[in-house]
Amino acid sequence: MRDIGVITPHFVPAQGSGVAPATYLNGPGKVVQVAAQGQLPRVVEDADDTFVQIELPGPQRLFVRENEEQFFERVRARMKKQPDGGRVIFPEQQPVSRETYKPRSWPSRNVLVEPSYVCHGRLFFEQPNFERVGYDLGVLQPALCLGVFYYDAALLPYHIWSDLRVRYECNAGKCLPGDQAPFLIPRERFSVTGLLGQSGTMIGLGFLFP
């Protein structure tokens, strides 16, 4: 006996066992009735095996493109070829709505998005090691901060006239307050415009305060 195929909707009453045995398709044109446990199966009748596919499907069947209605019609046509001419009833699908679709016509709104960085003017008296990073040198801290302030005040014209094209600064790329960062020693960059501005300021102060 070969492998049992697809179960068909045929049921034949068993004689003397009180069990309704099922009938199975077992190869082309054969229907096998299995009665109670322990009994041998017997052939009941010949049947059309068009609905049962015992061969591997090919590409034309695997990649067939059909809509839902075509699929239903194909299943109905196959069931009509069965010996009992069985009917296939598919559930009716109720539409969600019969109203005409109306697209949403909401008025446009402006959305305010805050950036994750801040741009500001140039800071000429900033001390990032002490103010941003938070380094503390103990008793030397006040004297060192005062010395850095006097240094920035003396070279203020040089810093103002340096980098004339860059009139703003941003905190993008800088460490956040409280982050662990190395102690950076500031270094002056050479600037021709800064040197001219510093020289002009010193000459002007010499004429004003001889």
**Within-domain flag for 163:** yes
Q: Please name every residue paired with 169 in a beta bridge, in sequence order, or none if there are none.
A: 120
Q: Which of 20, 55, 80 is the C-terminal boundary of a domain?
A: 80
Long-range contacts of 173-180 (CB under 8 A, 24+ apart): 174/128, 174/132, 175/132, 175/133, 177/132, 177/134, 178/134, 179/133
Question: Do 132 and 53 share a structural domain?
Answer: no
Tens digit of each residue's pLDDT (9 = 90 or more) over 150-190: 999 999 999 999 988 888 888 887 887 777 888 888 888 88
Domain count within the chain: 2
User: For the range 80-88, what are the long-range contacts, defined as Cβ-Cβ under 8 Å and sequence gap of 24 or more?
Assistant: 81/48, 81/50, 81/51, 82/8, 82/47, 82/48, 82/51, 83/10, 83/45, 83/47, 83/48, 84/9, 84/10, 86/9
Co-location of 134 and 204 in the same domain: yes
Is the pLDDT higher at 2 or at 157? 157
Question: How is residue 182 written in tokens?
Answer: 């190395």
pLDDT given for residue 34 in this prediction: 43
Domain, as residue range, for 143? 119-208
Domain edge (last residue) among 49, 80, 111: 80
Averaged pLDDT of the chain = 75
| pLDDT for residue 205 is more than 50 | yes
pLDDT in tens, 35-65: 444 444 444 444 444 456 678 888 887 888 8
Does residue 125 share a domain with residue 70? no
pLDDT value at position 182?
A: 85
pLDDT in tens, 12-23: 444 444 444 444
Pick from 80, 98, 133: which residue ends a domain? 80
Please give the pLDDT value at position 66: 86
Q: What pTM was estimated for this model as a whole? A: 0.43
Q: Are residues 66 and 130 in the same domain?
A: no
Is pLDDT larger for residue 163 or for residue 33? 163
Strand blocks (E) in 12-103 = 22-25, 31-33, 42-45
